[in-house]
Structure 1
Amino acid sequence: MATKTDFSPLVADVVTALGGADNVRSVTHCATRLRFKIKDSDKADIAKAGKISGVITAINSGGQHQVVIGNDVPLAYQALMDVPGMRAKGIKDGDAEVDDDGGSEDKNWLNKFIDLISALFSPIVWALAGIGLGKAGLTLATTVGILDAESSTHTIFNAMFDGLFYFLPFFLAITAAKRFKVNQFIALAIVAALLHPTMEAMVGTEGVTFLGLPLTMMSYSSSVIPVVVSVWLAGYLQRWLEKVLPGAVRNFFTPLIVVLVMVPLVLFTIGPVTIGAANALSNGIGFLFETVPWLAGGLMGAFWQVFVMFGLHWGLVPVMINDIATQGFSYMMAPLMAAIFGQVGAALAVWIRSKNAEVKKVAGPGVLSGFFAGVTEPIIYGVNLPLKYPFYAGVVAGGIGGIIIAVGGNAFDAFVFPSVMAFAATLSVGSFVAQLIGSSAALILGFVFTVVMFRKEQNVDKQETDTTPNVAAAASGTYVPLAEIPDKVFSSGAMGDGFGIVPENGEIVSPVEGQLIAVQKSGHAYGIRGDNGIEVLVHVGIDTVKMAGEGFEILVARGDHVKVGQPLAKVDLNAVAEAGFDPTTAVIVTNSKKLEGLKFTDVEGHVGAGDVVMRMEP
């Protein structure tokens, strides 16, 4: 069983890759990722962070440098807090970021909105999902007759699983207070007044007045938007009062005045307006699912994982929670089962068909995590997305499954992560058969589409592609054994196994098929993450970085997908010689220590660009 100690080397390397603790503005974590805000992006090497052993992937998205760890991210976060200089940077449970040097590096309004929603809901999302699972289980037990809905046992269980949702405004008051820098207890006092039993008892009662003014009472139990807006505005009032009130009365008059002002303000304006807006949004979504369910379900099933990749899903989470809280169900959540299962089916196919040990090591546990817990980041970033075609297969399968589910009128009646454990949440609304068929179809089609595309990937131009991990020559010229490369860093094997080539012309090509994860501006070095699991560095010449790009023409860009033999650069070898540098080009397998059976072919003397030099033997 993993402990935080196991993650100490990993997080130390991550901090170094991101430019050190001094370059980190703040860090928090969500379900699977460490989320860093960086002061100077030029000092942070996100590609290097993504290559650290134990890191699934690292991306720059939503104004954050996100390092995907997986389900054990809380342990990694604990270890991160022990890294020198990092404890003060940690943000937990929705704390507001303290900006000590000029504000956020990203002023994009969408990123700010996503960051806000993430801060408000990420601290409670696991509690919501876990207790929501209990609520779904209670529904299942009642439906199949295990438990009598009129029994006191059912009543007690219902209180266990419904309490969090009924008193959700209290939880949001805490996270919103931290985010908006409001006194938590003042925020809770505002919400307590709104949820007081006497206030709830007046809901629906005619003739209610306050200070002689007519008032339409609304229920604020389980509400989302009114609480967030109220706490946000209360923050401005609190800070103003703290500036203008005398010190002798400030401490007790501030909460008194804030409550006296904010509660009536909520009852007369904020509450009706925000609840009306939330209901209008819910009705609009419901109308879409009822009138064109195939379109709504298809979009959610196909693109939910894309939303998750970019962090945009946080913008939809409050809508789902609000729907469940106010109307008892959410149409938006049901097609998400297909989105999850489509990617799981694709990853399952890769796990079965792939011969790459590294890929299989990620795919196997990732499939279980996605199927039973609804957590798909490991298979998305570690398997499906790097290979591309499994991800596309999962998207298409999820869209088809989402259409079937939405046409069946299905909805979740509890906020749970879509997984096999969540089927109980789909019993109350719509056709459970359609939910089961749509989810199963996504799983099966994701698997089948991936298998078919896997075969096509191996059969390009009707020629069987060798799926055995190979490394080819990056240039035509004279083969040089690793130990004879005139650079001690390479020849010592410290960076990994490999070989050199003295090029006979200036064309430098890719030695593997994969994605370019690094392209130096000087044009002298290229990092490629191979589709076959091999990670390769192509370093053109010895110390040629000092030429600052003179004589180098770069033909590719970071993020490009390249084939074996595809040109990476053109180099003026005469310019290299005139500058006094050795043109020997090193091809280094940087993850060779993880690859068992990587052997050299029988090669010596002259090699051609694209000729296989290293091959993985079974």
Structure 2
Amino acid sequence: MAAKTDFGPLTADVVKALGGADNVRSVTHCATRLRFKIKDSDKADIAKAGEISGVITAINSGGQHQVVIGNDVPLAYQALMEVPGMRAKGIKDGDAEVDDDGGAEDKNWLNKFIDLISALFSPIVWALAGIGLGKAGLTLVSTIGILDTESSTYAIFNAMFDGLFYFLPFFLALTAAKRFKVNQFIALSIVAALLHPTMEAMVGAEGVSFLSLPLTMMSYSSSVIPVVVAIWVAGYLQRWLEKVLPGAIRNFFTPLIVVLVMVPLVLFTIGPVTIAAANALSAGIGFLFETVPWLAGGLMGAFWQVFVMFGLHWGLIPVMINDIATQGFSYMMAPLIAAIFGQVGAATAVWIRTKNPEIKKVAGPGIFSGFFAGVTEPIIYGVNLPLKYPFYAGAIAGGIGGVIAGIGGSAFDAFVFPSVMAFAATLSVGSFVLQLIGSFTALILGFVITVVIFRREQNVDKQETDTTPNVTAAVSGTYVPLAEIPDKVFSSGAMGDGFGIVPENGEIVSPVEGQLIAVQKSGHAYGIRGDNGIEVLVHVGIDTVKMAGEGFEILVARGDHVKVGQPLAKVDLNAVAEAGFDPTTAVIVTNSKKLEGLKFTDVEGHVGAGDVVMRMEP
């Protein structure tokens, strides 16, 4: 079992890669990722962070530098707080992000919205998912007749699993209060009035009025949007009162006035308007699923994992929760099992066929967590996405499975992470049979499509195609020993062992098989992490970065997987000569100090592109 101490070296290396603790503005975490806010992005090397052992991947998305750890991210976060200078950078879920000047960090509207939703729901999403699983299980045992719905036992279980959802406004009041800088107890007092039994008793009653003004009462149990908007508005009122009220009465008059103003304001305006808007949104989504269910289900099944990758799923979660609260079910959630199963099936195919222990180490537990818990980040970032084809296969399979689930009119009647455990939540609405068929069709298709595509591409497992620890010539020409390369940085060996070649043509190829981890915009340099464990820099010419890409045609992109001899770039050697630069191309093994047994072959004079120049000997 993992412990906090296991992540000490990892988190220290991550902080260093991101420019040190002084370059970190703040950090928090979600289900699988450490989320950093960085002061100066130029000082942060996100690619280097992604290469650290134990890190599944690292990406810059949604205005954050996100380091994916997996299910043990809480332990990694605890270890991160022990890194010198980092404890003060940790922010609690829901706290607002403030820059060094005291103002909110500048972001576009989409990033701000995603941050807001994440802050409101991420602290309670695990409780929602876990207790929702209990609610779905209760539905299952009552549907098959194990438990009588009229019994007191059922009533007690129902209270256990429905309490969180019924009183959800209280939980949202807490997270919204943190986000909007409102006193938590004032926020809870507003919600307490809305959920008071007296208020609930007047829902639907005729002749209700307040201060002689007619009032149509609505139920706020399980509500989402009215509470969030109410606490947001209450924040402005609270801060204004704290400025204008005398100190002698401020502490007790502020909560009194906020409640006196906000409760009627919600009853007359915020509540009806936001509930109408939420109902309209739900009706629109329902209309789409009812009129073209195959399209709606297919889109959700195919693109859900893309939404998760970019954090856009946070914008949909409130809609799902609101649908369940207001109408008792959510169409949007049913195709998500297919989305998860498609990626699980693809990862399973890779896990079975690969001989690489590193991939197996990530894929095995990742498949389990995806299938049983609906958490797919480990297999997405650690297996499917780096290999590309499995991710595409999973998305296609998820889309097809989503079409079937959509046609069946399936929906979730509880908020549960989409997984095999969530089928109980799909018993009440639509065709349960088509939900099962769609979900397991996605699982099978994800597996089969991955196998078929990999076989056709002859690229099933990068490590199976060429695991020979060799470094080959990156261009045809005259061999130059490392010490004779006309650049002191290279010739000194400071960047690692290697060699140079004076090219006879402009076709630059990959000296190893692996993944491109760096591609300079100028086209003069390429970093490759070899599948054989050798990391190589191909640097075309001396000081050719000053040409700003003139005469260089880039044929690959960062993240691509390349084979030995695959073209990386075409270079106009005449343009290099006319610009006055030396065309000597350096091939440097940047991790040579960590490799034992790396030896040169008997190479001198002319070499051809693809000729073995360095070999790992036992």
- TM-score normalised to the size of structure 1? 0.90
User: For 2:388 and 2:438, how far apart are their aligned partners in 1?
Assistant: 23
1:565 CA drift (Å):
3.3
| CA spacing shift, 1:507–1:66, aligned 2, 3 Å | same
Shift of residue 389 of structure 1? Answer: 0.9
* Secondary structure, counterpart of 1:60 in structure 2: strand
Spell out, residue by residue over 1:473-494, the C-alpha distance to the aligned partner (whole angstroms, 9 max, x if none): 2122355788998999879999
Contact 1:473 1:607 survives alignment (8 Å): yes
For the structure 1 residues 451 and 493, does the alpha-carbon distance in structure 2 shift closer, same or farther, using more than 3 Å as the test?
A: farther
Q: 1:39 touches 1:105 (CA, 8 Å); kept in 2? A: no
Indicate the larger mover: 560-569 or 140-149. 560-569
Q: What's the offset of the Cα at 1:470?
A: 6.2
| Offset, 1:403 | 0.6
CA distance in 2, matches of 1:482, 1:385: 36
- CA deviation map 1:374-433 (0-9, x unaligned): 111111111111111111111110000001111111111111111111112111211211
CA spacing shift, 1:90–1:606, aligned 2, 3 Å: same
Count how many residue pairs are aligned between Structure 1 and Structure 2: 618
Q: Cα distance, 1:148 vs. partner?
A: 2.2
Alpha-carbon displacement from aligned partner over 1:22-65 (angstroms, at most 9, x marks no partner): 22222111111111111221121111111111111111111111
Change (3 A) 1:209 1:72: same
Distance apart, 1:510 and its partner CA: 2.2
Instruction: Give 1:315 deviation, angstroms.
Output: 0.4
Residue segments in structure 1 that go unaligned for 5+ positions in a row: none
Q: Distance in 2 between matches of 1:556 and 1:150?
A: 65
The 1:261/1:513 distance shift into structure 2, 3 A limit, reads same
- Structure 1 range deviating more: 554-563 or 409-418: 554-563
**1:7-26: per-residue Cα shift (whole Å, max 9, x none)?**
11111111121122222222
Structure 2 vs 1, CA of residues 606 and 362 (structure 1 numbering), >3 Å: closer, same or farther?
Answer: farther
Change (3 A) 1:250 1:457: same
Classify 1:389/1:459 alpha carbon distance in 2 versus 1 (closer, same or farther; 3 Å): closer
Q: Structure 1 residues 613, 128: CA separation in 2 closer, same or farther (over 3 Å shift)?
A: farther
Contact 2:475 2:608 in 1 (8 A): yes
Q: Secondary structure at the match of 2:107?
A: coil
Contact kept in structure 2, 1:355 and 1:467, CA below 8 Å? no
Tell me whether 430-439 or 490-499 shows the greater mean CA deviation.
490-499
Q: What is the rounded CA distance, in whole Å, between the counterparts of 1:574 and 1:244 in structure 2?
A: 75
Kindly state the Cα deviation for residue 125 of structure 1 after the two structures are TM-superposed: 0.6
Q: 1:592 to 1:314 in 2, by over 3 A?
A: farther
Quote the offset at 1:444 in angstroms. 0.4
Tell me: CA distance 1:210–1:51, structure 2 relative to 1, closer, same or farther (3 Å).
same
The verdict on how the C-alpha distance between 1:88 and 1:445 changes in structure 2, with shifts beyond 3 A counting, is same
Does the Cα contact within 8 Å between 1:63 and 1:106 map onto a contact in 2? no
* Cα 1:140/1:254, change in 2 over 3 Å: same
SS of the residue corresponding to residue 294 of structure 2 reads helix
Q: Deviations over 1:459-514 (max 9, x none)?
A: 89999966878653212235578899899987999977766545455543222455
CA contact (8 A) 2:542 2:585 kept: yes
Q: CA 1:291/1:617 → structure 2, altered by over 3 Å: closer, same or farther?
A: farther
Q: 1:551-609, CA deviations, whole angstroms, 9 ceiling, x for partnerless residues? A: 97766554566554344456688999999999764445557899999998886664311
Cα contact 2:353–2:461 (8 A) shared by 1 = no
Query: Using the alignment, how far apart are the partners of 1:542 and 1:327 within structure 2?
Result: 67
**Aligned-pair identity (%):** 92
8 A Cα contact 1:297 1:405, kept in partner: yes
Report the CA distance shift for 1:102/1:251 in structure 2 as closer, same or farther (over 3 A). Answer: closer
Q: Distance in 2 between matches of 1:552 and 1:370?
A: 43
Question: Aligned ranges for residues 592-611 of structure 1 at < 5 Å?
Answer: 606-611=606-611
Q: Deviations over 1:352-388 (max 9, x none)?
A: 1223332222222211121111111111111111111
Root-mean-square deviation (CA, aligned residues, Å) is 3.6
Q: Compared with structure 1, are the counterparts of its residues 80 and 580 closer, same or farther at alpha carbon in structure 2 (3 Å cutoff)?
A: farther
Change (3 A) 1:57 1:459: closer
Given that 2:510 and 2:568 are in contact with CA atoms closer than 8 Å, whether structure 1 keeps it comes out as: yes
Indicate the residue corresponding to 2:11 in structure 1. Answer: 11
- Decide whether aligned partners of structure 1 residues 387 and 63 sit closer, same or farther in structure 2, where only a CA change above 3 A counts: same
Please state how far the C-alpha of 1:157 moved relative to its aligned partner.
Answer: 1.5
Whether contact under 8 Å (2:3, 2:75) holds in the other structure is: yes
**Bigger mean CA deviation after superposition, 13-22 or 213-222:** 13-22
Deviation at 1:5, TM superposition (A): 1.4
Change (3 A) 1:171 1:600: farther
